[in-house]
Structure 1
Amino acid sequence: MNEQSRGSYCFIALVALWLAILGVACATENAPDVVLHGSLQGSDNHTYREVPFQVPTGVNRITVQFESTGRDEHTTIDLGLEDPDGFHGQQGLRGWTGGSKRVFTVGAVDATPSFAPGPIQPGRWALLLGIPNIRPASKAEYTARIWFGHPGDPAWLPAVLNAPLRSGAGWYRGDLHMHGAHSDGSCQTQGGDARVPCPLVFTVEDAAKRGLDFIALSDHNTVSQANDIRELQPYFDHLLLIPAREVTTFQGHGNLFGTTEPLDFRLGSKAVPDWNALLTAVGALHGVFSINHPNRPNDETCMGCGWTPEQPVDMHLVQAIEAVNGMDASSPKYTGIPFWQEQLNKGFHLTGIGGSDNHNAKLPLPATGGSMAIGLPTTVVHASELSMKAILDAIRAGHVFIDAQGSRDRFMDFAASVGNRSAEMGDTLAAPPGSVVHVTMHVTAVANGRVEIIVDGQAFQPKNDMAIHSAAQALSFDWPSDGKGHWMRANVRGADGALLLVGNPVYLND
């Protein structure tokens, strides 16, 4: 073998080794913790069988995927789950599917319908198989794959429970702030005689009717709604339901997305002395945290609503700012946009998002302002797919704009380039001194409006015409770089001056 051949052979071998390592890593990431195999035959008809497995200490979720053969011969296997208390009446029986579910989860807070949430004790658990039918001469094989969850796991794990609702990159529209019966959301009773805590299903139905792709259900300091989400998500297969909570303190509110883990919210207590302690605990949960409605008052009219920390806050621990809450985009007094831009000027990469803060799922969407209807505003996210992880990753990355009036079709993108390098909203672009940053935009459904460009919080007037003359229009302009750090973003206003679309920044030379 000559040197060239030997070099090629070594390179191929090295690539093969890396592919093997990556394959093992990918397989391990989604691999079950326990795999159980077994077989059934005709003599098992009308019997029950326990299939035991051990649950180690420190587990707070058990997820089971069950598969079996023989359905073409009408072999039927019902499925249940026993905890270490054993089956004594209903004690120890954590659920029974009657054969209706082949994937289910049981966690400390939530569970698949027909199973009961609660503590996951270590020890001997068992799948309980019931065999209502297997023919005398038939045989069947079954496999149960079991995943164990642990404190601190994000809500999108294990993957077997969280398949994307839609594959492929796209712009997905959602509402990131709302309340129902699990906190202070209320609506009229069936008879219309009183207001009562509003069932979560009405919130989800309304969001689906409005054409949203995702919503975050963010009740105050609780994730009890996660159990309802387990029931509703399979039916609403076009609407992603993201578990969240509004962390509600005496010194401000913030939404935490993508985790159902416990969180001590008692800001000012010995356990949680300040926001930095609370946000450090949040960081361990792998979610996304946004400061909500920062410019609201913090008094008897809106107790704890405004952002009024008693100690300096490390904003590196925050990922997003609710720049638009309800209809406040054009309200100088209440909008969160100035607070957000102040943080951008301090050098923090914080994503501007919006949320309706809806407290009544039956509230109609108004023709004009003054309401907190679901989807008003809409947060529009450029994500790799419609899944919880992809949506939250895109929010964290800043690939977002806000549709301030919650339309179904208004759209904008914003990209900057230098040479062959480009960046979309949320990205960073190197622009050396003397270089020209070329900015391109596409705007849809805002005819007769205009684009305004903001650099470091100040209006910048390009030489090009930034008026919008048609239903779908491309715009562009150049910006000379001084090589220093800047941020640049765009708003779109209607013909009447109303703020319609709020873009996130591209960061330059950061």
Structure 2
Amino acid sequence: MESTTLHQSVVVHPYDEKQLRPVTFEVNDEVERLIISYRFSEGNVVDLGLARGEEIIGWSGGARKELIISESFATPGYLHTPITTGTWSVLLGLYKIRGECRIDIDITFQRKTPRWLTGDTHIHSEHSDGKLSVEALIERAMGLNFDFLCLTDHNTTTQNRVIAGMNAPLTLIPGMELTTDRGHVNFLGLTQPVERFLPHFSEQDITAKMDEARRNGARIGINHPFCHYCPWMLPFRGHDWLELWNGPWDATGNEMTFQYWLQLLYDGIRMPVTAGSDFHKEKGQILPRISVRAQSAEREDILRGLERGQSYLQSDSETRLNRFVMGTAGIGDTADSALLQVNLDTRPDNQVLLYTQKKIYLLNNRNGHINQEVDCSDSAFAFLRVNREQTAQLITNPIFRE
């Protein structure tokens, strides 16, 4: 992340003792993390705290010389919170001042920087029918080098109350899988997306819950829509994305979802797709993950990337997508150029397919490396699918053209 540091200095005297001295600063840019440190003349005692406007973010007294604040992490004694624009204050508690005392403060702004983040949009914990605790799921995700995790237990939000106060090494996104006998749908981004649920739903009931979640600000994704056991049996509307890849590729009708989504693209309908492991317990299965191009590791930026289709889905750790762009436009963007550049590494025996509106290209796999340019001037979209035999290993959302 790009960072800049603001240096502030304050000189205090014994007659200032027992006062609280705020040192204000402005947050003007899109900042992902604040790091604040201070030092002062020996023989004095100066406590430390932080406020945003009138809101106290935390207080560490004289216990620490540095504090860190972000949406997902905060130094103990402080609230984790997005770094919003406005006036903030370093709070100096002048506990003991024995002479002229200079206090130096360094405020480092780590700015939001676009990058690819990998995670899982669909998991279950012991709060519904999963076998692992939230803490164990986080440990598992860290072992997979994930950057974010969406908690989507069935018809409950108690898992979200657990993560609300957690300092986590990755971004935890609250959610709920509304589970009905007419299909399953994820509500992401809110601790309590709907007030309550009922065990049996009519179409009217489910639509009302989706409308409620939408009004409250949740992102909505229809899960495993062509699963043999729990398909989506209602009209496809009111959602932000489709879960194209659920669990192992061959288990839940993923190929049918792919064909349905492909037809949407041919019909000119832009619908982002996602991947979710639907993890409940370890079974030794090959599960998908999703990589999202986001402005930061904050929840809203990750969800915005999913909503815009700035993502690709993958299960094969041997496939690396190095470059997939039209001019300056990447996955999920609309290009003003027609020349597509593809660069990826994969297994030599994998099949790399480029889907466009007019044609499906089989790209030249040169012993595991693909580096090719394709003129897409006659197509409204282009996306990649990597197969091993008929099993998908990687699928990108499209780059679009007007």
Paired position in structure 2 for 1:398: 309
Q: Distance in 2 between matches of 1:69 and 1:408?
A: 46
Q: CA deviation at 1:480?
A: 5.8
Deviation by residue 1:331-373 (Cα, 9 ceiling, x = unmatched): 584543234335445543221110111123xx37x4xxx45xx
Relative to structure 1, the CA distance from residue 135 to residue 378 in structure 2 (aligned partners, 3 Å threshold; closer, same or farther) is same
Q: Select which of 159, 178, 182 maps to 1:251.
A: 182
Deviation by residue 1:180-202 (Cα, 9 ceiling, x = unmatched): 23332214xxxxxxxxxx2x221
Please state whether the residue corresponding to 2:184 is helix, strand or coil.
Answer: strand
User: What amino acid is the match of 1:492?
Assistant: V
User: What amino acid is the match of 2:398?
Assistant: P
Please state whether the residue corresponding to 2:354 is helix, strand or coil.
Answer: strand
Paired position in structure 2 for 1:228: 163
Q: CA deviation at 1:139?
A: 7.5
1:425 aligns with 2:320: no
Q: Distance in 1 between matches of 2:35 and 2:296?
A: 26
Q: Select which of 317, 325, 341 maps to 1:415.
A: 325
Please state whether the residue corresponding to 2:152 is helix, strand or coil.
Answer: strand
Contiguous gaps of at least 5 residues in structure 2: 1-10, 23-33, 52-57, 80-91
Paired position in structure 1 for 2:116: 171
Deviation by residue 1:131-153 (Cα, 9 ceiling, x = unmatched): 9x525557799x9xxxxxxxxxx
Please state whether the residue corresponding to 2:197 is helix, strand or coil.
Answer: coil
Q: Select which of 68, 83, 96 maps to 1:134.
A: 96
- Indicate the RMSD between aligned Cα atoms, in angstroms: 4.6
**Aligned ranges 1:57-96 → 2 under 5 Å:** 72-73=41-42, 74-77=44-47
For the Cα contact (< 8 Å) 2:16–2:97, is it kept in 1? no
Q: Select which of 291, 296, 302 maps to 1:380.
A: 291
1:475 aligns with 2:372: yes
Q: TM-score, normalised by structure 2?
A: 0.69
Q: Distance in 2 between matches of 1:276 and 1:487?
A: 31
User: What amino acid is the match of 1:215?
Assistant: L
User: What amino acid is the match of 1:207?
Assistant: A
Q: CA deviation at 1:498?
A: 2.8
Q: CA deviation at 1:325?
A: 0.9
Q: Distance in 2 between matches of 1:134 and 1:454?
A: 70
Q: TM-score, normalised by structure 1?
A: 0.56
Q: Distance in 2 between matches of 1:104 and 1:230?
A: 13
Relative to structure 1, the CA distance from residue 267 to residue 330 in structure 2 (aligned partners, 3 Å threshold; closer, same or farther) is same
Relative to structure 1, the CA distance from residue 102 to residue 168 in structure 2 (aligned partners, 3 Å threshold; closer, same or farther) is closer
Q: CA deviation at 1:507?
A: 3.3
Please state whether the residue corresponding to 1:186 is helix, strand or coil.
Answer: coil
User: What amino acid is the match of 2:330?
Assistant: E
Q: Distance in 2 between matches of 1:320 and 1:394?
A: 11
Paired position in structure 1 for 2:85: none
Q: Distance in 2 between matches of 1:480 and 1:130?
A: 65
State the structure with more CA Rg.
1
Relative to structure 1, the CA distance from residue 169 to residue 78 in structure 2 (aligned partners, 3 Å threshold; closer, same or farther) is closer
Q: Distance in 1 between matches of 2:396 and 2:324?
A: 8
User: What amino acid is the match of 1:178?
Assistant: I
Please state whether the residue corresponding to 1:424 is helix, strand or coil.
Answer: coil
User: What amino acid is the match of 1:308?
Assistant: M
Q: CA deviation at 1:67?
A: 8.3
Q: CA deviation at 1:225?
A: 2.9
Q: CA deviation at 1:403?
A: 0.6
For the Cα contact (< 8 Å) 1:252–1:294, is it kept in 2? yes
Q: CA deviation at 1:276?
A: 3.7
Q: CA deviation at 1:308?
A: 1.7
Q: CA deviation at 1:244?
A: 2.5
For the Cα contact (< 8 Å) 2:174–2:188, is it kept in 1? yes
Q: Select which of 278, 289, 296 maps to 2:209.
A: 278
User: What amino acid is the match of 2:126?
Assistant: A
Relative to structure 1, the CA distance from residue 68 to residue 444 in structure 2 (aligned partners, 3 Å threshold; closer, same or farther) is closer
For the Cα contact (< 8 Å) 1:290–1:318, is it kept in 2? yes
For the Cα contact (< 8 Å) 2:318–2:347, is it kept in 1? no
Q: Distance in 2 between matches of 1:319 and 1:96?
A: 40
Paired position in structure 1 for 2:231: 306
Deviation by residue 1:212-232 (Cα, 9 ceiling, x = unmatched): 222222223315434435323
1:466 aligns with 2:372: no
Please state whether the residue corresponding to 1:398 is helix, strand or coil.
Answer: coil
Please state whether the residue corresponding to 1:379 is helix, strand or coil.
Answer: strand
Relative to structure 1, the CA distance from residue 449 to residue 80 in structure 2 (aligned partners, 3 Å threshold; closer, same or farther) is closer
Q: Distance in 2 between matches of 1:395 and 1:40?
A: 50
Paired position in structure 1 for 2:275: 354
Q: Distance in 1 between matches of 2:251 and 2:202?
A: 37
Q: Select which of 475, 481, 489 maps to 2:383.
A: 489
For the Cα contact (< 8 Å) 1:410–1:446, is it kept in 2? no
Q: Select which of 336, 341, 361 maps to 1:440.
A: 341
Contiguous gaps of at least 5 residues in structure 1: 1-38, 52-64, 82-94, 106-110, 117-128, 144-159, 188-197, 299-304, 432-436
Q: Distance in 2 between matches of 1:249 and 1:476?
A: 46
User: What amino acid is the match of 2:320?
Assistant: R
For the Cα contact (< 8 Å) 1:318–1:350, is it kept in 2? no
Q: Distance in 2 between matches of 1:40 and 1:66?
A: 23
Relative to structure 1, the CA distance from residue 72 to residue 506 in structure 2 (aligned partners, 3 Å threshold; closer, same or farther) is same
Q: Distance in 2 between matches of 1:343 and 1:356?
A: 24
For the Cα contact (< 8 Å) 1:397–1:426, is it kept in 2? yes
Q: Distance in 2 between matches of 1:226 and 1:40?
A: 43
1:207 aligns with 2:101: no
Q: CA deviation at 1:173?
A: 1.7
